[in-house]
Amino acid sequence: MTAKHYRADQSAQRIDQSFHANERMDDEFLLRYSRQILLPEVGTEGQARLAQARALVIGVGGLGSPAALYLAAAGVGEITLCDHDHVELSNLQRQIAHRHADLGRPKVESGREALLALDPQLHVRVIAGRLVGAALEEECARADVVLDASDNFPTREAVNAACVATGTPLVSGAAIRFEGQVAVFDPARGGPCYRCLYREGADTEQTCSETGVIAPLVGIVGSVQALEAVKVLLGIGESLAGRLLLLDGLHMQWRELRLPRDPGCPVCGETRDELDNAGG
């Protein structure tokens, strides 16, 4: 059994143990989540699983705002928000966790307030800075699912590497202009990682601040990320692992690409361990 499989098993075991010890199955809990509990794929057991689950959201901007709000509304018990930025006027067009009154505040602070306004019983952790190195790996190891809602390749690559190293499923989203994309990377359970898809890296990076983005697009993509994360946490349906979902919002057309795993991938491929050792 590899280290990453061990961690995934540990995580499942922790959720199961917590479920039996769960004290939140009261009337308010059952009523709040009644429309989800009605779903046979969720039920009270699934809802209790969500209440004990931990999600890490990297970036509380256009994608992270709706993703985190929907995770909170769906009842994911612990949500960690990570962002180094402060709220600016040009953010408010699409970053719906933040309000005009939040201008100048750290995004993680206004984000936390928005989530706790939905449900004061949620556990919302905040990291007001850039997660790198060992700290990033620790946070990914702690999480049952990671949502990459960042806007740049270096962060995406670092988050992907940390998720591969810790065996944590990664739900990746991106949006620019009228175009969005979502994928799930979970090589511990099969399929490619983010780096298999983007071997060439950051050369063609474009950001919303340079090219623009239409407001509701990030809401769609962030919401798809939240749904994929909930499915991963519940172990239901068919995730976007191994598939890249593409949205052309201007013509409202969805496409899907199959993503193969790259055996030569420096992050998840067969030569990974040798590279790790070489790099110390």
Give residues in contact with Zn ion (CB under 5 A): 193, 195-196, 265, 267-268
Closer residue to Zn ion (CB): 226 or 259? 259
| Shortest CB 143 distance to Zn ion, Å | 19
DSSP state, 257?
Answer: E
Helix (H, G, I), strand (E, B) or coil at 3: helix
Is the Cβ of residue 106 or residue 192 nearer to Zn ion in the bound state?
192
Q: Is 157 exposed, middle or buried (0-12, 13-18, 19+ CB in 10 A)?
A: middle
Those residues with Cβ within 8 angstroms of residue 206's Cβ, 6 or more apart along the chain or in another chain: 176
Shortest gap between Cβ of 272 and Zn ion (angstroms)?
8
Angle between helices 153-166 and 3-21 (to 10 degrees): 80
Active-site residue identified among 82, 140, 196, 208: 208
Cβ-closest position to Zn ion: 265
Residue with smaller CB distance to Zn ion, 122 or 158: 158
Q: How far is the CB of 256 from Zn ion (least distance, A)?
A: 19
**Cα separation of 18 and 38, whole Å?**
22
Q: Which is nearer to Zn ion, 50 or 171 (CB)?
A: 171
Residue 37 Cβ vs Zn ion, minimum distance, rounded to whole Å: 37
Q: Is 208 a known active-site residue?
A: yes
C-beta separation of 260 from 196 below 8 A: yes
CA neighbours closer than 13 Å in the CB half-sphere of residue 224: 21
Token pair 């623009």 is at which residue?
212
Q: Report the alpha-carbon distance of residue 107 to residue 119 in Å, rounded.
A: 18
Q: Which residues are catalytic?
A: 208
